[in-house]
């Protein structure tokens, strides 16, 4: 199962199947609601590897994710368009599109034992723009 993540803003960040290791989608609805709640949100957790460029390859764009996490709320580019594809057997199983995503957590982890670092990015869709989240899938690549 492969994942591709694309973040479109002032610059485009693209991460492919070699670096993304996991994606988790969840819909946040209050568990204690007695009837369908209007308080609905959506959170995505993306985990992956921070790869070192060898043989003169370009560097991966994980650093751009770190910079996005540090953009202050006063700037409009703290909201970016994120599309995530889950690909298996030449089929796009899911394609999630978050047109106004913002970062709620970003973490990078390095050790002296592993050859690569790892990152965890948690994003949310702006809550008043929940209707714009698109879930597609079930077609070939």
Task: Report the interface residues with another protein, using CB under 8 A.
Answer: 41, 50, 52-54, 59, 63, 66-67, 69-70, 72-74, 78-79, 102-117, 122, 124, 126-128
For another protein, give the closer residue by CB, 45 or 83: 45
CB under 8 Å to 120, separation ≥6 — which residues?
45, 46, 47, 105, 106, 107, 109
The C-alpha atoms of residue 125 and residue 127 are separated, in whole angstroms, by 6
Question: Rg for the chain (alpha carbons), in Å?
Answer: 16
Q: In the bound complex, what is the minimum distance in angstroms from residue 52's beta carbon to another protein? A: 4
For another protein, give the closer residue by CB, 105 or 136: 105
For another protein, give the closer residue by CB, 80 or 85: 80
Q: In the bound complex, what is the minimum distance in angstroms from residue 60's beta carbon to another protein? A: 8
Nearest to 97 by CA among 127, 125, 134, 61: 134
The C-alpha atoms of residue 64 and residue 126 are separated, in whole angstroms, by 20
Q: In the bound complex, what is the minimum distance in angstroms from residue 31's beta carbon to another protein? A: 14
Q: In the bound complex, what is the minimum distance in angstroms from residue 48's beta carbon to another protein? A: 14
Sign of the dihedral defined by the CA atoms of residues 75, 9, 94, 53, in that order: negative
For another protein, give the closer residue by CB, 18 or 110: 110
């Amino acid at each position: 199962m492969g994942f591709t993540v694309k973040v479109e803003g002032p610059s485009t960040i693209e991460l492919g199947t070699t670096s993304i290791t996991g994606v988790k989608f969840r819909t946040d609805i209050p568990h204690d609601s007695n009837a369908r709640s209007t308080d609905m949100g959506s959170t995505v957790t993306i985990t992956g590897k921070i790869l070192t460029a060898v043989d003169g390859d370009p560097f991966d764009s994980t650093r751009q994710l770190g910079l996005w996490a540090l953009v202050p709320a006063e700037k409009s580019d703290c909201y970016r368009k994120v599309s995530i594809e889950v690909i298996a057997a030449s089929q796009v199983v899911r394609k999630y599109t978050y047109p106004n995503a913002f970062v709620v957590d970003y973490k990078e982890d390095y050790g002296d034992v592993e050859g690569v670092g790892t990152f965890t990015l948690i994003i949310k869709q702006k809550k008043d723009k929940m209707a714009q989240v698109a879930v597609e899938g079930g077609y070939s690549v």
